[in-house]
Amino acid sequence: MSCLRCAVKFLTKSPAADGIIGLPGPLIQSVRGIKPRWLPKSKSKIFYVRTPTPIDPVEHEQLMTLYFHYRAHLRSIRSFICSQHLQQLQAAKQRTIEQEDKVADFKKMEEEISQWNARVQVVREERQAQEAQWEQKRVERKMTRVERRKLRRLEQAEQKLQSDMEAAPKFITMDNLDTEIEKLLNMRIDYNFAIDKQGNKFSADSTSKKDDAKDSEQKEAAKG
Amino acid sequence: MPFMKGRAPVRYTLRYLEQGKLVLKDNIRIMTVNYNTGHKPSHGAYDFVFWHLPQLQYKNPEVQFLVFRNMTPSPFLQVYFGDGQKLLSQLDSQPKNDIFEHVKRVFCKSDEQLGAETLAKQKMANPANFGIGCARECMCEIPGQVPCTCFVVPPKELRGKFRFMGKDVEEDS
């Protein structure tokens, strides 16, 4: 006799698709060689008691020891892997947090610096404007000074030109060269004179004249 | 330079260097300061470098510090980070103390952070400590100490079941 075994199999979601692919429904399969549930135990087996499998105590003890050892090893490996995995998770989480902190921290620094720079920029621009003003004034002063100097030099040049032009008739030319040479040759200069600290010249003639004048004055005074 | 010679030789004393309060953040790699000599708006930057650069270098041996003189129209401070980013602070006409406060607030670790780091360092460094994050998690890991009861059953004399509840050792056995 055949039996029908029903099972409901829920189709699992495909990782690629979001929705359910098919509807859940009963999967019916016929199973043979099994008694139906409502049939009682057969008469021949009503008082049947299964003889337990003989167990060798030494072997059993050995097997149990091995089994406990195996379980202990498995447990230790499992706990080791678990702890490793936890550590990795923790480290990854920590790294993410640190990265986020770093980004946030950098943003905060940028904001603070932009505020500071804006404040300093005002000071700097004021200072630069002031310096530019000073520089402009300095350049203006210098230009004025240069202009004044140019003017003065021009005036001096003009004066010199004027004086030269005035002196031009006295210049020695080829026409009056001989006359001038003759004049110089005939000119006698007496270098026999003394000089005092003020630069006054005392020639021999003037001193002798002075001495004569003094003597005559003294004689007149003696007569009087 | 010989000891206690030059201008303000107190800058080179160990006590002065240790008193520095500027500990830069971990991701800072280079710090440069640009200023001009004999330039009035650069006086603050010059004083900051004069007084605080030795302390900065002492407290941050992993960071490179550079000073550029007479290469800029106005003084500034630039910081380069490990990931290639950089930040620039203008220092024009700023007094030394303002620059100090600014650098401390923006580029340095906070006092709380420093305290926590010092504490963690002390905790990790002290071999007498035990617990999570230390060299050993439990006192029982040291030979000669009483082992934990999760590993070894303590002797009956140490167990309250037998000492206080009056269950004699011999009776139980």
> A117 CA to chain B: closest CA distance, Å?
6
Residue A17 banded pLDDT, cuts 50, 70, 90? very low
Higher pLDDT, B19 or B152: B19
Query: Residue A97 contacts by C-beta under 8 Å, 6 or more apart in sequence?
Result: none
pLDDT in tens, A24-76: 666 777 878 888 889 998 999 999 999 999 999 999 999 999 999 999 999 99
Please report, as a single letter, which amino acid is at residue A17: A
Closest residue, chain A, to B99 (C-alpha)? A116
Give yes or no for a contact between B25 and B59, defined as CB atoms under 8 angstroms apart: no
A124 and B89 in contact by Cβ < 8 A? no
Residue A31's pLDDT is: 79
Residue A2's pLDDT is: 46
> A124 CA to chain B: closest CA distance, Å?
6
What percentage of chain B has pLDDT greater than the value 90?
62
Does residue A12 sit in helix, strand or coil? coil
Give yes or no for a contact between B57 and B20, defined as CB atoms under 8 angstroms apart: no
pLDDT at A8 over 50: no
Mean pLDDT of A2-29: 53
pLDDT in tens, B131-150: 887 888 888 888 988 888 88
> Exposed e or buried b for every residue in A137-148, given b needs 16+ CB within 10 A?
eeeeeeeeeeee
Residue A224's pLDDT is: 55
Does residue A179 sit in helix, strand or coil? helix
| Interface of chain A toward chain B, CB-CB under 8 angstroms | 102, 105-106, 109-110, 112-113, 116-117, 120-121, 123-124, 127
Residue A22 banded pLDDT, cuts 50, 70, 90? low
- Of the candidates A102, A113, A116, the beta carbon closest to that of B27 is on A102
pLDDT at A11 over 50: no
Residue A214's pLDDT is: 64
A113 and B106 in contact by Cβ < 8 A? yes
Residue B75's pLDDT is: 96
> B158 CA to chain A: closest CA distance, Å?
28
A113 and B81 in contact by Cβ < 8 A? no
pTM listed for this prediction: 0.58
A105 and B102 in contact by Cβ < 8 A? no
What percentage of chain A has pLDDT greater than the value 70?
80
**Averaged pLDDT score across all residues of chain A:** 85
Rounded to the nearest 10 degrees, the angle between the axes of helix A57-167 and helix B96-107 is 150
B-interface mutation test, from A94, A98, A109, A115, most B Cβ less than 10 A away: A109
Nearest to B82 by CA among A88, A105, A93: A105
Residue A149's pLDDT is: 97
Closest residue, chain B, to A117 (C-alpha)? B90
- ipTM of model: 0.75
pLDDT at A221 over 60: yes
pLDDT at B161 over 70: yes
Give yes or no for a contact between B83 and B28, defined as CB atoms under 8 angstroms apart: no
Higher pLDDT, B166 or A159: A159
pLDDT in tens, A161-174: 999 999 888 888 89
Mean pLDDT of A139-150: 97
Closest residue, chain B, to A108 (C-alpha)? B106
What sections of chain B are H helices per DSSP? Answer: 14-18, 43-59, 96-107, 111-125, 160-163, 169-172
Residue A223's pLDDT is: 64
Question: How far are the Cα atoms of A2, A3, A38, A51, A190 from residue A42, in angstroms, in the given order?
Answer: 18, 19, 12, 19, 181
Residue B119 banded pLDDT, cuts 50, 70, 90? confident
Give yes or no for a contact between A28 and A4, defined as CB atoms under 8 angstroms apart: yes
Higher pLDDT, A21 or B16: B16
Mean pLDDT of A193-209: 81
A124 and B85 in contact by Cβ < 8 A? no
A116 and B107 in contact by Cβ < 8 A? no
Apex CA A185: angle with CA A181 and CA A190, to 5°?
Answer: 140
What sections of chain A are H helices per DSSP? Answer: 57-167, 177-186, 204-223
- Of the candidates B93, B102, B107, the beta carbon closest to that of A124 is on B93
Closest residue, chain B, to A111 (C-alpha)? B106
Give A76's contacts in chain B (Cβ within 8 Å).
none
A-interface mutation test, from B39, B40, B79, B92, most A Cβ less than 10 A away: B92
pLDDT in tens, B72-110: 999 999 999 999 999 999 999 999 999 999 999 999 999
